[in-house]
Amino acid sequence: MSHLLTLNQVNVSYGPVQALYDVSLEVGSGEIVTLIGANGAGKSTLITSLFNKPKPNGGAIHFDGHNLTSEQTHNIAKLGLALVPEGRHVFPSMLVEENLVMGTIPIGENHLEQDRAHIFDIFPRLKERRNQRAGTLSGGEQQMLAIARGLMSRPKLLLLDEPSLGLAPIIVQQIFGILKEIAEDGMTVFLVEQNANHALKLAQRGYVLVNGRITLTGSGEELLANPQIREAYLGGH
């Protein structure tokens, strides 16, 4: 399998504080890969360092033949990488429609009509709310909008950072259901989650990040069955 995203011995620091130590991982084309870890393990840092925010101070990140560490942040989306960030980060004063258009920046507005219709099929709630300001949406709807905005750039790899954060269990179910559909459509997904149970059930492979280091890796089922993982992330039952 060809690797779409490869991290090789990546080190990231915030000033004197090191957040990631020699992180290596791969995401193959068409795969769903998850990275699980506790609060403060460095999950979000790993995701944002793909966009050089902050820039890694060691190691290499390759995506689809490009060396990401030498690209400027605003050029990375054009390479086919879309981020659904932690905390959703929709543009609160813009309409739902405008937020979707924001997603098309890397590819231009040529496919806008077609892609928007497709998005509204996946997220009928967004269609109902299309002329509302994004800031007035509920948390779950904002999360759907953030995912939809990511899809609008027709990415080769969709990065999701804690899509379950702060949402009611039933909404989390719904979001993961949608992610499953998107993945079945052939999208490559790299999912960072604290909610190990949902993430490992969805993903084919998983990595476990502890204090900035990758300590375990395996298929989703293996990790789900691993007693250490059950102890640390799944409530020990």
Partner 1 sequence: MDSFIIGQQLVNGITLGAIYGLIAVGYTMVYGIIGMINFAHGDIYMVSAYLGAIFLAVITFFGIDSVVLALIITLLFTIVFTALYGWSVERIAYRPLRGSTRLAPLISAIGMSLILQNYVQLSQGARNQGFPALVEGSVRVGDGAQFFQVTYLQMIIVVTAFVSMGILTYVIHKTSLGRACRATQQDPMMAEVLGINTDRIISIVFVLGAIMAAVAGILVSLNYGSFDFYIGFITGIKAFTAAVLGGIGSLPGAILGGLILGMSESLFSGFVNTDYKDVFAFGLLIVVLIFKPSGLLGKPEIEKV
94 binds partner 1, rule: CB under 8 A? yes
- Report the SS3 class of residue 88: coil
In the complex, minimum distance from the CB of residue 52 to partner 1, in angstroms, rounded to a whole number: 10
Angle between helical axes of 96-103 and 139-151 (0-180°, round to 10): 30
User: Of the listed pieces 89-97, 118-126, 174-182, 209-217, which binds partner 1 according to CB under 8 A?
Assistant: 89-97
Angle between helical axes of 96-103 and 112-122 (0-180°, round to 10): 120
Q: Which is closer to partner 1, CB of 85 or CB of 206?
A: 85
The binder of partner 1 chosen from 45, 51, 100, 182 (CB under 8 A): 51
55 binds partner 1, rule: CB under 8 A? no
Q: Which is closer to partner 1, CB of 52 or CB of 197?
A: 52
Give me 164's structure tokens. 């379950």
Which residues, in sequence order, are CB contacts of 48 under 8 Å at separation 6+? 54, 83, 85
98 binds partner 1, rule: CB under 8 A? yes
Residue 99 to residue 115: CA distance in whole angstroms: 13
Residue 64 to residue 111: CA distance in whole angstroms: 22
83 binds partner 1, rule: CB under 8 A? yes
Kindly list the residues in this chain that would bind partner 1 in the complex (CB under 8 A): 51, 53, 72-78, 83, 85, 87, 89, 91-94, 98, 101-103, 105-106, 109, 149, 153
